[in-house]
Amino acid sequence: MRTRALKYLGGAALGAGLATAFIGGSAFAEGEDAVTVLGQQTSLLWVVLGAALVIFMQAGFALVETGFTQKKNAAEVMSTNFAIFGLGFVGFMFVGFPLAFGGFSFGAFGLSTPMNGDGLPAIGGEYTGLLYWGYEHLGNAATPALLGFFLYMVAFMDTVATIPTGSMAERWKWKSFVIWGLFCGAVYYPLFAAWTWGGGWLAKTWETLSLGAGYVDFAGSGVVHAVGGVAALAGAIVLGPRIGKYGPDGKPRAIPGHNIPMAMLGCFILLFGWFGFNAASTFASTDVQFATVAANTAIAGAVGAVVAMYYITWRTGKPDPGMMVNGMLAGLVAITAPCAFVAPWAAAVIGLIAAILAIEAVFFLDKKKMDDPVGAVAVHGICGTFGVIAVGIFANGTYGAAWNGSASTGIKGIIEGDWGQLGAQALGALVIWGVIFPIAFAFFKIQNKLTKGGIRVTEADEIAGLDIPEMGVLGYTD
């Protein structure tokens, strides 16, 4: 299980002397502490509100990706972002959630008992867990705490599932996309989630390999963004570039997005939702570290946007709006893992580095003829990986006691002299690129082989636009 040090209301004497109380429709058991129960209830509200904010991010992704692609594909691109929520949700609800979080418990919001009872993995040992199991969330025994946690986790899974819709846009068959959505929710995302947030072997490398506090990823630079980013790369490679993207000389050609203001609005929606993504990952409204998390999130995003503006101007002579968007998103992605463990100055440095990484990654991928219409691989794959490593560099030791059940008094990176934590983060990054990426690549390769005509649309449909051939309606009737 993912264990954290909790801070409950500073020892306030609310409700002292009460043998029983009645808050939120349920009486406390005899001897149950009113302060603790109230803390659990407000924390559960915090988790559910965070889930709503993360789910709203889907609108941001939809606007960014649709704005960055061509008008003739607007209905199809928007529809992939709309449909992925339900597709991933179904796969995660029936298969993925039990596999990843069957052994998870966290008392701050009332989830004191894991679904599988003992918290031990179904496959692997206590320190080598690969997969878990538990189905309580679908039955009458499901508690509000369990269902609130499920809702929060399903929102994170959908972020993973939607990232490849950007890199594979404008040439991906709808029926092939649908299978990806189900696979991601049921199998792909739950694997790495089980090994990390679910309490699996990467989380326990503090015990098995003496690496810091084990793999640490506060809100998902690796578990969510890099895992989605490597799938985006795998899918883009299997599909190949869009028609006309590269000239006879191999040099990339610009295929402009049809609505840059739409994409920029989507970026602001993502920024807003990111506070639920990061700050609510404290899982406790009584853990005031959420304020530090929120501030660091905003700092990295703002610095990323400004640095991208100046860097792309130096690179090309103009402050490309698309690169400003990706600079902000790069900062947000990179800060997501270390946001609770670093000082504000480090958040600024992380945003700065991420913005430059994202821009250079876009140019590099273009040179390698890996066509990504929205920059998903650069922003999520590359900057998500950087965010994982940033924990091992910049964590200052002021937060994270007993993380992953370790004896840690706080997460420390190399700036505090702990090279073991950097080792745990590097191992996590290696697993993402050395194990999770091949799984995604194999999935798309096999799907391409087994699908009649492959997973890419026909040349004629791609040239004409996918709205009518794939969706049956135009995004814009004019």
Cα separation, 292 vs 341, in Å, equals 9
Output the pTM of the full model.
0.92
Cβ-based burial of 318 (10 A; exposed 0-12, middle 13-18, buried ≥19): exposed
Quick one: tokens of 233? 């790369």
Name the CA dihedral angle for 321, 326, 328, 329, rounded to a multiple of 10 degrees.
150
Average pLDDT over residues 378-385: 98
pLDDT of residue 32: 60
Q: Above pLDDT 90, what percent of the chain?
A: 83
Quick one: tokens of 260? 């840059």
| Window from 181-185, 427-431, 474-478 with minimum mean pLDDT | 474-478
The residues pairing with 27 across neighbouring beta strands, listed in sequence order, are 22
How does pLDDT run across 40-57, given as a tens digit for each residue?
A: 999 999 999 999 999 999
Q: Is the pLDDT of residue 397 over 50?
A: yes
Q: Is the pLDDT of residue 183 over 50?
A: yes
Q: Which residues, in sequence order, are CB contacts of 412 under 8 Å at separation 6+?
A: 212, 395, 396, 397, 418, 421
Three-state SS annotation for the chain:
CCCCCCCCHHHCCCCCCCCCCEECCEECCCCCCHHHHHHHHHHHHHHHHHHHHHHHHHHHHHHHHHHCCCHHHHHHHHHHHHHHHHHHHHHHHHHHHHHHHCCCCEHHHCECCCCCCCCCCCECCCCCCCECCCCHHHCCCCCHHHHHHHHHHHHHHHHHHHHHHHHCCCCECHHHHHHHHHHHHHHHHHHHHHHCCCCCCCCCHHHHCCCECECCCCCCHHHHHHHHHHHHHHHHHHHCCCCCCECCCCCECCCCCCCHHHHHHHHHHHHHHHHHHHHHHHCCCCCCHHHHHHHHHHHHHHHHHHHHHHHHHHHHCCCCHHHHHHHHHHHHHHHCCCCCCCCHHHHHHHHHHHHHHHHHHHHHHHHCCCCCCCCHHHHHHHHHHHHHHHHHHHCECCCCCCHHHCCCCCCECHHHCCHHHHHHHHHHHHHHHHHHHHHHHHHHHHHHHHCCCCCECCHHHHHHCCHHHHHCCCCCCC
pLDDT of residue 36: 85
Q: Is the pLDDT of residue 457 over 90?
A: yes
pLDDT of residue 141: 85
Q: Which sequence spans correspond to the domains of the chain? A: 31-130+138-463
Q: How confident is the model at residue 381 (pLDDT cuts 50, 70, 90)?
A: very high
Q: Is the pLDDT of residue 24 over 50?
A: no
How does pLDDT run across 187-216, given as a tens digit for each residue?
A: 999 999 999 999 999 999 999 999 999 999
pLDDT of residue 12: 31
- 212 φ, ψ (degrees, to nearest 5): 50, -130
Quick one: tokens of 219? 């809100």
Average pLDDT over residues 121-144: 89
Cα separation, 398 vs 343, in Å, equals 9
Q: Is the pLDDT of residue 26 over 50?
A: no
pLDDT of residue 21: 30
Average pLDDT over residues 421-436: 98
pLDDT of residue 203: 97
Query: Within a 13 Å sphere around the CA of 115, how many CA atoms are in the beta-carbon half?
Result: 28
| Window from 9-13, 177-181, 233-237 with minimum mean pLDDT | 9-13
Q: Would the CA dihedral through 329, 222, 279, 153 be positive or negative?
A: positive
Q: Which residues, in sequence order, are CB contacts of 348 under 8 Å at separation 6+?
A: 299, 300, 303
Name the CA dihedral angle for 263, 268, 269, 275, rounded to a multiple of 10 degrees.
140
Q: Is the pLDDT of residue 171 over 90?
A: yes
pLDDT of residue 135: 84
What fold is seen in the domain 31-130+138-463? Answer: Ammonium transporter fold (1.10.3430)
How does pLDDT run across 155-167, given as a tens digit for each residue?
A: 999 999 999 999 9
Q: How confident is the model at residue 18 (pLDDT cuts 50, 70, 90)?
A: very low
How does pLDDT run across 223-239, given as a tens digit for each residue?
A: 999 999 999 999 999 99
Do the beta carbons of residue 233 and residue 370 sit within 8 Å? yes
Q: How confident is the model at residue 118 (pLDDT cuts 50, 70, 90)?
A: confident
Q: What is the mean pLDDT of the chain?
A: 92
Q: Would the CA dihedral through 368, 180, 145, 199 be positive or negative?
A: negative
How does pLDDT run across 284-293, given as a tens digit for each residue?
A: 999 999 999 9
